[in-house]
Structure 1
């Protein structure tokens, strides 16, 4: 029986070049990530025109189709089933597939301009540092669904504890919410080895040392180690070292002894280095990250929020936001929530405000208004790519004014942090309105939600006003003449 999700998968496959053009399939929270043999076979305009597609993002490694939370998890297995069933060289375009906006319409021109900007970004992103950041992101992105699920349970549990409700059930909820977080270094180690070409289970094995309770009996320079010391950073370093040790040993051991010698020496050598070096170093680094984040928001909260909220959209464009994923995870391990994510989420609020201003100001531009109407719900839920690549970035100035809205929202949240009202997220992944169930803070989830809502409203208003009065200067008349 065909479902809406299977129909979406059937529509996407020919538009990315058919089964023969698909090398790999994966998904994160919002995007279907495809490895393609030949990207010139992608019919991007038609792909964007599909009702379920919120946008596309192409980086050096994968071609990413934004479908949104939930939808992508249902469409991916349907897509994989089509690849399994379809013969190689299947046709490339379904009959009746939408052809996308006309090239001479405003939406068509903006789509073309967005494609040029993405191509230029891909060229600039092909640096060793950015490639490494993307690989680090690929380690942590698969963990996000569990982080979200456990984060929501933790938030619910905290609310019940604060209200004094259901005292008999809260210990069970604590165990459910905390189990994954207690073992997250193991999953990080597994994914690290997998990403860098090692044996995943060996990566998990050396990372498990970090959380093993028995490390408390190990002393380094006269000081006993603590279980979990170094957290995900220690696990990342241990698994990365283990991968290189494994490869080095495997290249020097006879094949007949490989199955015995390689894993033994990999675990032994890496384990000793982890215990007597990496755990301590990673623990100091993790502590410094937590201290720096708290000091920054306690003493320069408004300014820090202004800078972080204002620069996050450009960071996303450059791919540098991926460097924040281990930092978010470290803060969640230490404090139970990351204080950075709610501030960074304000960038999406500025983007929504800017898009609304474009919609109101360019009221005669029907194609652009249609694009905004279709992308706005996703933007409110924190999926900003359709608005970025379809509206603000191609127009130019609205992207800058969207950043101004994000800066204002970030300053609002940062100001309350200076007053002692820290706002944090118990998980990473969602943004916009979707972040509310994950909010917590120094004075509880209710006040955290109120401050976050105030930041969103500030971002919406400033993004709208800045775009309406400055971001569209010289554009309104020209755009109105395009489509009377």
Structure 2
């Protein structure tokens, strides 16, 4: 399946272009902020080729696609028309969970775009330190000083980078935001405020703060700017709005930033730095060992992004980080070792390919393919990762390793541990790297077992034969047609699962299996049911009918409801669907068909409730590889 086809499928299963409030991506993930989170069909998204995993949070739906994320993002943006297709976010009752998710979404949106600049500058600086330590370049030479100015500029003007991303997230005037925050690092302002005796504005002394390499003053300034700009834009007469709104923003926000928000942001950065270093000072190497061990679970829900602001603040204040980045070294390389062990032991070609590519990516600091493709789906792989992470975390903690660049640790970025004053820092980091790979690889090789599908569901050995089966009944009356005849490549190619389609003669949609409703979108055009035997069924009424926004559909059940086979779940107005120009053909799919053999039982004309498919769990292998 091509990238364009996968992009189309992802777009459909997050609720369509109209449901996307914001879309951006990091190194491996598409990050969707949706107007209505319930429209994101997690099971269908996971079934799209190229999708490694899906994480649904309080404010964001993350679709993990690996190293091809840039191409997938571009394809989705082209399909949805970019930012012009953004939808207003639905107002919802306040909840602390949603509030926390909103804060996390803001943090991710502000800091993720600037990480490449910080990472590149940090590695550049570390390579210069290496060149100086090896005697290849004199640190007092003009060459060294001029080259050092390149990465130093990134950190020196970090407030401007943060101002830009904050303004973009808050949808305020970006040049105005840059101008306001630029005051804090403007040479004339810094010279005045730092001169002997200080400086005062109308008798008020200006606080003396070094704002270069700080992030929180800029965030607070842009937050206030967003409020002031929106207020004056709303009340200002149109013909004078162009200059009057920016003027009022400058008059109000600039002094507030100089006297209040700037010092407050600096204090907040100092507080977070103190908290990070305090935790390390209190628990020492134990803190790093524990953090490394739980990072797989933290990353799986996206909470690792919460470490970015204090890590950047710590790096700016002390020039190094001895906590999060060091623990990440232990975890990243353990993901690599565990996945490579799985690749050698598994008998599943698909899992072997996933584990091999994920393991290689993790070696270079990109862990999501290994984490979502292998670790989180298999307990044995997770045990191997935790074992390696904690072992390596204990070593790098005990030897007091520090990182000097804010970048994901791996082979390609190992220079981030170069310390001109302590050559052992890099050596101990390398030893920790080796421990992580060796321990996780060895544990993975020793304990790995897989079944015919390459997925481990329990720690015990898998034994037995075809142990589960289900008979799916037709949810509709009509004509059975082959899935390949459906006029949609997402369905006809079978990428969402094996099954058939029905050309309905009436719109009474009934449950094809007894179980629990797992998905029911607000558009009401599709329903997912997990059967009592674990079979996951998707009934998709019509093609592209998500665009009808639920108009022709009436639902009789809700998510998490218990349903019995034959129970009426949805009524569809087929005439209205046809009149709107949409096809009423209804695919009926076994979403997790990779774990089952699916036999088509119905053909020709069929009545709702008649046998449609027989589903049997695939024969599994036991520990010694025999059936």
Structure 2 length normalisation: TM-score? Answer: 0.60
Shift of 1:205: 2.3
1:378 and 2:361 equivalent? yes
**Which residue is 1:12 aligned to?**
6
Conserved in 2, the CA contact under 8 Å of 1:57 and 1:66?
no
- Out of 209, 215, 228, which is 2:211 matched to? 228
- Out of 314, 325, 334, which is 2:297 matched to? 314
> RMSD of the TM alignment (CA)?
3.7
**Which residue is 2:165 aligned to?**
191
Shift of 1:183: 0.9
Pairwise mapping of residues 396-415 of structure 1 onto structure 2 (< 5 A)? Answer: 396=379, 398-415=381-398
Change (3 A) 1:216 1:39: same
* Separation in 1, partners of 2:33, 2:291: 32
1:148 and 2:115 equivalent? no
- Out of 460, 466, 470, which is 2:437 matched to? 460
Pairwise mapping of residues 48-63 of structure 1 onto structure 2 (< 5 A)? Answer: 48=49, 50=50, 60-63=59-62
- Out of 252, 255, 260, which is 1:277 matched to? 260
1:475 and 2:460 equivalent? yes
Change (3 A) 1:371 1:296: same
- Out of 149, 153, 159, which is 1:179 matched to? 153
Shift of 1:192: 0.9
Post-superposition CA distance 1:73-94 (Å, at most 9, x none): 5665576567779xx9xxxxxx
Q: Choose between structure 1 and 2: higher strand proportion.
A: 2
- Out of 24, 30, 39, which is 2:28 matched to? 30
Conserved in 2, the CA contact under 8 Å of 1:230 and 1:284?
no
Segment drifting more, 226-235 vs 292-301: 292-301
Change (3 A) 1:448 1:79: farther
* Separation in 1, partners of 2:370, 2:211: 41
Structure 1 length normalisation: TM-score? Answer: 0.75
Shift of 1:186: 1.0
Gap runs ≥5 in structure 2:
86-94, 194-198, 450-457, 464-619
1:201 and 2:186 equivalent? no
**Which structure is richer in relative contact order (CA contacts within 8 A, separation 6 or more)?**
1
1:67 and 2:66 equivalent? yes
* Separation in 1, partners of 2:169, 2:32: 16
Shift of 1:258: 2.6
* Separation in 2, partners of 1:125, 1:363: 43
Conserved in 2, the CA contact under 8 Å of 1:348 and 1:432?
yes
Q: How many positions carry a matched residue from both structures?
A: 429
Q: Secondary structure of 1:433's partner?
A: coil
* Separation in 2, partners of 1:243, 1:54: 37
Change (3 A) 1:442 1:270: farther
Shift of 1:44: 4.2
Q: Secondary structure of 1:237's partner?
A: helix
1:331 and 2:325 equivalent? no
Post-superposition CA distance 1:337-376 (Å, at most 9, x none): 433313223222233333345455x544555334322322
Post-superposition CA distance 1:231-275 (Å, at most 9, x none): 111111111122122223333333343323322222222221211
Conserved in 2, the CA contact under 8 Å of 1:217 and 1:225?
no
Gap runs ≥5 in structure 1:
1-6, 89-123
Change (3 A) 1:128 1:235: same
* Separation in 2, partners of 1:40, 1:173: 50
Shift of 1:377: 1.2
* Separation in 2, partners of 1:238, 1:223: 16
Change (3 A) 1:136 1:239: same
**Which residue is 1:96 aligned to?**
none
Change (3 A) 1:76 1:394: closer
Conserved in 2, the CA contact under 8 Å of 1:27 and 1:72?
yes
